[in-house]
Amino acid sequence: MHPFPWDPAYAVGHDTLDTQHQQLLAACGSLVQAEEPEHAGFNARLQALLALADQHFVAEHALLDACAYPDLDELRAERQEFAELVADLIAPEHFNPDELQRFLGLWWVGHIVGSAETMRLFLVPASP
- Assess if residue 7 is contained within a domain: no
Q: Is 8 part of any domain?
A: no
Q: Which residues contact 43 (CB under 8 A, 6 or more apart)?
A: none
CA–CA separation, 98 and 95 (whole Å): 9
Return averaged pLDDT per consecutive 10 residues of the chain, 128 residues in all.
Answer: 86 94 95 77 92 96 92 93 92 84 94 90 66
Report pLDDT for 48: 96
Beta-carbon neighbour count of residue 97 at 10 Å?
18
CA-based nearest residue to 67, from 9, 17, 11: 17
Q: What's the CA gap between 66 and 107, in Å, rounded? A: 25
pTM above 0.75, yes or no: yes
- Residue ranges making up the domain that contains 59: 13-32+40-122
Whether 90 is in a domain gets the answer yes
Asked if 13 and 120 touch (Cβ cutoff 8 Å), the reply is: yes
Predicted local distance difference test score (pLDDT) of residue 121: 87
At residue 125, the pLDDT reads: 53
- pLDDT at residue number 124: 63
Number of domains in the chain: 1
- State the Cα–Cα distance between residues 18 and 7, nearest whole angstrom: 11
In a domain, 113, yes or no: yes
- In a domain, residue 1? The reply is no
Q: What is the pLDDT of residue 35?
A: 77
Does 5 fall in a domain?
A: no
The pLDDT of residue 1:
57
Query: Does 3 fall in a domain?
Result: no
- CATH code for position 88: 1.20.120
- Residue 69 CA to residue 88 CA, distance in Å, equals 30
* Distance in angstroms (rounded) separating the CA atoms of residues 110 and 116: 10
- Determine, yes or no, domain membership for 2: no
Identify the pLDDT of residue 62. Answer: 95
